[in-house]
Chains A and B, each alone.
Chain A
Amino acid sequence: MDSPEANTLIEKKDILVQAFLKGQAPDFLDRLTTALDEYFYSVFEKSIAARKMVIAGNPFAVIALGGYGRKEQCIHSDIDLLILFDKTVPPDVEGFVQELLYPLWDARFEVGYAVRTIDECLRMSFERFDILTTVLDARFICGASLIYSAFMEKFRQRLAARHLKPTLTYLLEHGEKRLEDFGDSTYLVAPDLKSGFGGLRDYHTLLWYAKIKSNIKTRRDLAYYGILSHLEYESLEDSLTYIWDIRNRLHYITKRKNDTLHFEHQAEVASLMDFKNSGGQPDVELFLGELHEKMEFLKQAFQITYEDILSSSRIKKNKTAAKPTKTQGLMVHKRRLYFSNTVAIMQTPDLLLQIFLESGQSRIPLSIEARRVASEFRHLVDETMRSDPKTVKIFKRILGLSYWEFNVLNVMLSTGVLQQLIPEFTALVNKIQYNHYHLFPVDKHSIRCVQIINSFKDPGTTMADSLYASVYKEIRNKNVLLVAGLLHDIGKADPAKEHSRRGARIAAPILDRLGFNPTEKEDIVFLIENHLLLAKTATRRDIFDEETAVFTANSVGKIRLLRMLFLLTVADSKATGPKAWNDWTENLIKDLFLKTMGILKTGELASKKTQRLIEKKKKDVLGLLRENWREEEVNQQLSSMSRRYLLYVPAGNIVDHINLFRNLKDRDYIWQITKENGSDMRTVSICGKDKPGFYSKIAGVFFQNSIDIVASQAYSLGDAHILDIFNVRPPKDRLFEKEKWEKAEKDLFRALEDDHYLDRALEKIPQTLPPLPGKQPEPNQIRIDNQTSSFFTIVEVLTYDFPGLLFAVTNALYRSGLNVNVAMVGTKVDQVIDIFYVRDMQGDQKVESKEKLDQIKSTIINCLPKIHTKEVLSEKN
């Protein structure tokens, strides 16, 4: 259908859009609205269907609703129309709708319409709030204006009489739901310009509220009726113009109604908005910085509305007198904090911080007036005040009061008082990092981080939450953690890399001003410098390897620091965005923390003493190998060895092992037998390729060849090799000792090949022990410790020595499907304590199930010979 009116509209729109893109149509929304209005006038005038209905006594009004009603029509926004009749809707209306809307649909305008009578429309408005809000924006276009005014009058009457409270409640709930559904758009990677927090809907809500409360007609009235101050109205206009500009450009680029400023469109919109790269910061980051600032204002406007609605429903009208607060110089009026007068601020500049403390404690927001005053007087927070213990004390208390629901620190930031107190923070304000990972400008991110740390007080509902709460409770000096949270990214002012280290440098003088003692300062600097350590280690190293936890434990050093570093990591990641924080990363980081904590608590592998011992041993080994090895070769070998090994194995044996490892080549194993000076003992050092049951087979071969094991240690080297040491009594037949060893060596090769080679030896293990002389013997004891280590199940066997003991026990472990990763076996006179660090071969992890643990216990018990006490023997006799 060819419509000259539609053609005129399209033409007008095209010209308008072109002018807009060139920046020549500052009142674009208004003019587009007018163009649409003109279309409806001319179609209405020409319409035969319309004339027929009027003649038949059915006058009607054509009414604009929603954004079109507000005269805020963007390029591809919906056009919402209401065709309103007095009492009845005549059938002829169909013809009219065809004349009116078909040409628009053909031209691909998005038009929605409703045909209703006044009563119908009233009923629906109070049944459905989304209809009610569009009616609030209703604007008469053409037709019978009397019908429009009759309707509006009835609507207002009913609203005032019966529906005021539910409508306001709806506005509140709608706001809350919006936050839930769309989140805080101000700092999203892809902000929703309309529905998110900080989007246009915030302004709509303010306008609706003013329309309901004060019956205002247009945006301009917000200032006339004193709902906003002149200054605020200016900011509102400024923010709206900016966001509408972006929205129109976004509509233009994507060729459709689209309100989400997606990542991939941001650069293009920025260039259309005429942003130029400056000072090394990409234009798009500047553009987003400015957008966030404007959206932040809309959000604040909404929060004012929200608070107003809340307080109007809460407070009785007669209680309007201002009341002083407990802090002299401040007062509360209509649930808002004010400065009593500006002279007081000049006399006591502390008030500039006190007001935030008061606000945080009482959860009463600063009035807009107080924000402005704080901002204008912020220069009073000068150098002396910055390091004044009194000011600092107030500030530290404010930090602990910053919560998600009531974030007083954010207000401190928006008034500039925070930056005045910590001038180094200024460089972070609206500092955008244009990528998918960082959702928030650095300043907001830092404050969110503080907020999240405070939220750990709450034990929450999930298992992880309760862990955070439990760790948080153990942190004695919360200020250390909070300040580390606020300053952890202070090094990001500079776009160069390595922000952690630079941040630690920048933070040092701030911490001096904030009066932290040397230990606290050291802790905070450490936290800032290492705030990425846990997250990086958790994702880039194998957290199932004990060495990863040992490395982390060594880097952190103290339990106190690990707790704080963990919570800082969680808060930092949570404050960054969903890429940095999700179930997946949470699991990894939490796991690494718990494992590292285990290592630090046991102290065995990560204490200062251990560090010293290991360092000394490394030096000794280097000294011993100097002649035949290059230093870096030895260091490389040493770095692949576990700390447990380095701690417990004497330097001499380490040297043997390094030499053996070099000569291993593709053999299964290689050993070296040394005669101990001045004793009858031999030390067998073994290096081999790890195979299931290796350790047990060595023990078996020694038993088979009557070589008596006095002590032994077993370790793994990396993932594929073993390093064992056996202290043994040599075979009895000294004449043929060499031959005996050669036979044992061959036996071991066979045993490694054939899993049943040692079966017969196993049968020779005694079933009962000869009666023990002297004191009452202790019964056999098997202890299983599954708590000390995150990596191993620790099995301890206490019994009396007998030939083949180690073979019997290790064979039992092997047949139970366990891998012996570490073993420490020793004999004291005839009492034996064997300790095994085992892992389940199936999953290469510690044994978790209770049944399996019980089964291991009984298998070992059953393989040990019965101990008979003398009494038992005599009873049998």
Chain B
Amino acid sequence: MKKIEAIIKPFKLDDVKEALSEIGIYGMTVTEVNGYGRQKGHKEIYRGAEYVVDFVPKIKLEIVVTDDRLDESVNTIRDAANSGKIGDGKIFVLPVEQSVRVRTGESGDEAI
């Protein structure tokens, strides 16, 4: 089992969700996050006053998949989130030791 953490642009969320559901992945955790990488915060000026946006708004997706579906899932996210620009985001893959479905107690791949 692997956990995929993807940081993507907010407006790409629907595309990514749709692409994932097309390959049969329906469950995910979505968080609204702020951060910066190469793309930094910036400032805007309104009537002489500066309004600083320190961070860039992003979406964080977390998905746990079985090992055999990892590459497919990562590629799907990458394709759907790609606009060719800086700030398109990053995808991280982490090993997952165990998973348990709370209701039934099923564990491992069964619980994904």
Chain A contacts to B: CB under 8 angstroms: 463-464, 466-467, 470-471, 539-542, 544, 582-585, 587-588, 590-591, 594-595, 597-598, 719-720, 787, 790, 842-846, 848
The reply to whether A470 and B87 form a contact with Cβ atoms under 8 Å apart is no
- Do A720 and B84 contact each other (CB < 8 Å), given the known contacts A587-B34, A594-B46? yes
Selected interface stretch from B16-24, B35-43, B89-97: B35-43
Contact A787 B45 (CB under 8 A): yes
Q: Are A848 and B57 in contact (CB under 8 A)?
A: no
Within 8 A of A (CB), among B44-71: 44-47, 49, 51-53, 55, 57
Contact indicator A588/B52 (Cβ below 8 Å)? no
Cβ-defined contact, B38 with A842, below 8 A: yes
B44 in contact with A845 (CB, 8 Å) = no
Shortest distance between the CB of B52 and any CB in chain A (Å): 7
* Interchain residue pairs with CB less than 8 A apart (29): A464-B51, A467-B51, A539-B10, A542-B11, A542-B85, A544-B39, A544-B85, A582-B32, A584-B32, A584-B34, A587-B55, A587-B57, A588-B10, A590-B51, A591-B44, A594-B45, A594-B51, A597-B46, A719-B83, A720-B84, A790-B44, A843-B87, A844-B85, A844-B86, A844-B87, A845-B39, A845-B40, A845-B42, A845-B86
Chain A residues lying within 8 Å of B40, measured Cβ to Cβ, are: 843, 845, 848
Of all chain B residues, the one with the shortest Cβ separation from A586 is: B57
Q: How far is the CB of A146 from chain B (nearest CB, A)?
A: 56
Known A542-B11, A587-B53, A719-B83; contact A846-B42, beta-carbon cutoff 8 A:
yes
In addition to A466-B49, A719-B83, 6 A-B residue pairs with Cβ atoms within 8 Å of each other are: A582-B32, A594-B46, A843-B38, A843-B87, A846-B42, A848-B40
Q: Which residues of A are found within 8 Å of B55, using beta-carbon distances?
A: 587
In the complex, the answer to whether B42 meets A583 with C-beta atoms within 8 Å is no
B11 touches A539 (CB 8 A): yes
Nearest-neighbour CB distance to chain A for B33, whole angstroms, equals 8
Indicate whether B9 reaches chain A with its CB closer than 8 angstroms: yes
Most buried by B among A470, A541, A790, A845: A845
B109 part of interface (Cβ distance < 8 Å) = no
**Which residue in chain B gives the minimum CB-CB distance to A842?**
B38
The answer to whether residues A544 and B44 also contact, given A467-B49, A590-B51 and a CB cut-off of 8 A, is no
Chain A residues near B79: list those with CB within 8 A: none
B14 within 8 A of A: yes
A contact residues around B10 at 8 Å (CB):
539-540, 588
A843 in contact with B86 (CB, 8 Å): yes
Interface size on B, residues (CB 8 A): 27
* Cα-based distance from A327 to B89 in the complex (angstroms): 63
Q: Distance (Å) between the CB of B79 and the closest chain A CB?
A: 15
Chain B residues with CB under 8 Å of A539's CB are 10-11
Contacts of B43 in A (CB 8 A): 848
With contacts A467-B49, A719-B83 taken as known, whether A540 is within 8 angstroms of B14 at the C-beta atoms is yes
Q: A594-B44, A597-B46, A848-B40 are in contact. Are A544 and B87 (CB under 8 A)?
A: yes
Residues B1-29 near A (CB distance < 8 A)? 9-11, 14
**CB atoms of A591 and B53 under 8 A apart:** yes
What residues of chain B lie closer than 8 Å to A588, measured between beta carbons?
A: 10, 57
Cα A542 to Cα B15 in complex, Å, equals: 13
Contacts of B49 in A (CB 8 A): 466-467, 470
Given contacts A470-B47, A591-B44, contact A542 B34 (CB under 8 A): no
Bound-state CA distance A467–B50 (Å) is 10
> Are the C-beta atoms of A844 and B39 separated by less than 8 Å?
yes
* CB neighbours of B38 from chain A (8 A): 842-844
Least CB distance, B40 to chain A, in whole angstroms:
5
Complex CA distance for A583 and B32, rounded to whole angstroms: 10
Q: In the docked arrangement, what's the CA distance between A662 and B53, Å?
A: 40
- Bound Cα distance from A787 to B87, whole angstroms: 23
Chain A contacts of B52 at CB under 8 A?
463
B-side contacts of A583, CB under 8 Å: 34
Docked Cα-Cα span, A544 to B9, in Å, equals 10
- List the A side residues contacting B9 at CB < 8 Å: 542
Also in contact, A463 and B46, with CB within 8 A (given A542-B11, A587-B34, A842-B38): no
Residue pair B85, A719 in contact (C-beta under 8 Å): yes
Closest B residue, CB atoms, query A690: B84
Complex Cα gap A467–B46 (Å): 8
Cα–Cα, bound, A787→B50 (Å): 11
Please report the C-alpha to C-alpha distance between residue A583 and residue B53 in the assembled complex, in whole angstroms.
11
| B-side contacts of A598, CB under 8 Å | 44
- Min C-beta distance of B81 to chain A, whole Å: 12
Closest B residue to A787 using CB positions: B45
Q: Give the distance to chain B from A181, nearest Cβ to Cβ, in Å.
A: 25
Bound together, the chains give a CA A789 to CA B44 distance in angstroms of 9
Using Cβ atoms and an 8 Å threshold, which residues of chain B touch A597? 46
Q: How far is the CB of A473 from chain B (nearest CB, A)?
A: 9
Cα distance A463–B84 in the bound complex, in angstroms: 33
How far, in whole Å, are A464 and B52 apart by their CA atoms in the complex?
Answer: 10
